[in-house]
Amino acid sequence: MRFVSSLLPLALLLISFTSNAQSILYHNFNGYTLVGEPGNAAILKQFDAMLVVDGKIAAVGPLRTMPKQLQQTAESKVNLHGKTVVPGIIDAHGHMLGLGENLMQVDLRTAASEQDAVTRVQKFAETETGPWVIGRGWNQENWQNRQFPTAKSLDEFIADRPVWLARVDGHAGWANSRALELAGITADTVSPEGGEIIRDANGKPTGVLVDNAMALVESKMPAKNADYYRRALIAAFDHLVSEGITGVHDAGVDATNLAVYQQLAEEGKMPVRVYAMLSASEPSLPELLAAGPITTADDSLTVASVKIYTDGALGSRGAALIEPYSDAPNTRGLLVTQPNDIEQLFDLIIPHGFQINIHAIGDRANRIALDNFAHAYATIGGRNLRHRIEHSQVVHPVDIPRFKELNIIASMQPTHATSDKNMAEDRLGKERMQGAYAWQTFLEQGTIVAAGSDFPVELSNPFFGVHAAVTRQDRDNQPQGGWYAHEAMTLEQALRAFTLDAAYASGQEQQLGSLEPGKWADFIVLDQDPFAVTSDKLWRADVLATYVAGKVVFTQE
């Protein structure tokens, strides 16, 4: 990492001044941005003044060297009182609708046991009058017995209304008996391809459904209309800007969701820039692809990629592994989309010029994804589209170099490692940990790592992710020394992964991701300097204000 005291000369203006241009001079702050060619060492630049014209950065650098005549062109000046300024955070993998829904449903993330979760659901149901009781966030790995929950425990308190509670990773669901009944699930029901109905020793469904089996219940739930989507998305926007997130790569958007985004963009009501990945399961995908990529004039909405699922998640043993699970030798996980279908999707998507972002957690899933990219390049091309593997979580060591060879971006979520550390080694065994959560190994070979959170699977606060990336520890600073600490990122690498490299992963590095002339003025004001605190305090950063295109979209004042 190289440090440069200032950015480009302030006289170099990439935006012309006109009589009606709105110009603001932000000054008296401690600013940082990371720049440099993707795949190369990060360059950290520091500055204390920034001139913004019509939402874009016209100049940055030391105020003392800014010509007086340039300062005088500003219509207004904003004193940031010595606080720290960094580029707005871009979360390269989140689920906007899921986050908004979470904010409107019962949250079980901190439930300490199955009974604790049931108690929270019961209290929520007392005030929520809808036909279904819906929630998300339970994680049996955080419970003392580490066992999947059962419908029976819910039935004791809620028997008259269906209950559906998604696991924290969204790859399993917990239903009460009423929900199972509405779905027609009995001891005779066959698990669908790519899914599993968990059963007891007598073959009776327990209430937990994994991956594709979840649709058996979800298909019976009330339909979500455009108004519901809108309310959920606006709730997500409000939450994210309070945490300093100015851009999100939304991992899986259906046609209704897309239409709502387009309406919000037309109304100018998108304070978070969204790079939407079309869902590969959307029935109208061929028509959406034929219409071509979408980019609004203000870059608030971009649609140029498709999200494909390969497997499930590690916590629910749905991640597809080459060899059996160490703690469940009878299974190797699940393929949510079958290999032949994946190949057909590649053949459909790439000729339209859309990027493919394929979910792969297990080593088998990652190998299938890499094989499909290699086959596509040899048959239909598309190497230039900056394809991504979402999660890249457990990769066989022999497959890691293929990311570089195939020009694949590793879209990874640092807090997954600190959340999974209590079960990942149980699932995989020590040998397979060599290619698991291998951030530094990817970076050292020149692979772009785009960082995100996978909210609402994880909490969306990006500084939790920065802290996890740098320390390989949870927020209690455990384990001491870090979990497989040799794969930790430097602070510069982590911040760049959440800013410039995330922008590169969406093809937007010329517009977003760093505070440089010509780019949108998306930045945040922090209460602490991440380069001046010890790494254990990184997660404590508090966002005082968030700016998008030079305008305040959140402030604590």
Return averaged pLDDT per consecutive 10 residues of the chain, 557 residues in all: 37 32 92 90 93 95 82 89 98 96 91 97 90 94 94 95 94 96 96 95 96 96 92 97 98 97 98 98 98 98 98 94 97 96 98 98 98 98 98 98 98 97 96 97 97 96 98 97 98 98 98 97 98 98 98 94
How would DSSP label each residue in 222-237?
Answer: PPP-HHHHHHHHHHHH
Please report the pLDDT score of residue 21 as a whole number: 60
CA distance 59 to 66: 9
- Token code pair at residue 236: 């997500």
- Token code pair at residue 61: 């650098």
Please report the pLDDT score of residue 37 as a whole number: 87
431 DSSP β-pair partners: none
Whether residue 491 contacts residue 533, with contact meaning beta carbons closer than 8 Å, is answered with: no
Angle between helical axes of 363-379 and 339-349 (0-180°, round to 10): 40
543 DSSP β-pair partners: 526
Q: Say which amino acid occupies 26.
A: Y
> What stretch of H or E contains 4?
strand 2-4
Q: Say which amino acid occupies 344.
A: Q
CA-nearest of 58, 32, 66, 57 to 47 is 32
User: Sign of the CA dihedral 445, 446, 448, 449?
Assistant: positive
Instruction: With H, G, I as helix, E, B as strand and everything else as coil, classify residue 365.
Output: helix
pTM (2 d.p.): 0.87
CA distance 349 to 293: 11
Please report the pLDDT score of residue 15 as a whole number: 31
Angle between helical axes of 255-266 and 226-241 (0-180°, round to 10): 60
User: 446-472 burial, b for 16+ CB within 10 Å, e for fewer?
Assistant: ebbbbbbbbbbbbbbbbbbbbbbbbbb
Please report the pLDDT score of residue 18 as a whole number: 33
User: 58-94 burial, b for 16+ CB within 10 Å, e for fewer?
Assistant: bbbbebeebeeebeeebeeebebeebbbbbbbbbbbb
- Write the CB contacts of 233 (distance below 8 Å, at least 6 apart in sequence): 96, 97, 100, 257, 260, 261, 264
24 DSSP β-pair partners: 52, 76
Q: CA angle 367-368-370, nearest 5°?
A: 65
Q: CA angle 478-480-484, nearest 5°?
A: 90
CA distance 45 to 91: 22
pLDDT 10s digits, 452-466: 999 999 999 999 999
Whether residue 91 contacts residue 455, with contact meaning beta carbons closer than 8 Å, is answered with: yes
**Phi and psi at residue 242, to the nearest 5°:** -70, -15
Q: Helix (H) and strand (E) counts for the chain?
A: 18, 24
**Phi and psi at residue 225, to the nearest 5°:** -95, 180
Please report the pLDDT score of residue 13 as a whole number: 31
CA-nearest of 391, 536, 367, 544 to 467 is 536
Enter the DSSP assignment of 143.
Answer: S
Instruction: With H, G, I as helix, E, B as strand and everything else as coil, classify residue 26.
Output: strand
CA distance 76 to 41: 36
- Token code pair at residue 26: 């932000």
pLDDT 10s digits, 162-209: 999 999 888 999 999 999 999 999 999 999 999 999 999 999 999 999
Q: Burial, 362: exposed, middle or buried (Cβ in 10 Å; 0-12, 13-18, 19+)? A: buried
CA distances (Å), origin 424, targets 22, 298, 331, 393: 52, 42, 15, 10
pLDDT 10s digits, 265-310: 999 999 999 999 999 999 999 999 999 999 999 999 999 999 999 9
How would DSSP label each residue in 448-490?
Answer: -EEE---TTSS---HHHHHHHHHH---TT--STT-TTGGGPPP
Whether residue 247 contacts residue 273, with contact meaning beta carbons closer than 8 Å, is answered with: yes
Whether residue 547 contacts residue 48, with contact meaning beta carbons closer than 8 Å, is answered with: no
Q: Say which amino acid occupies 239.
A: H
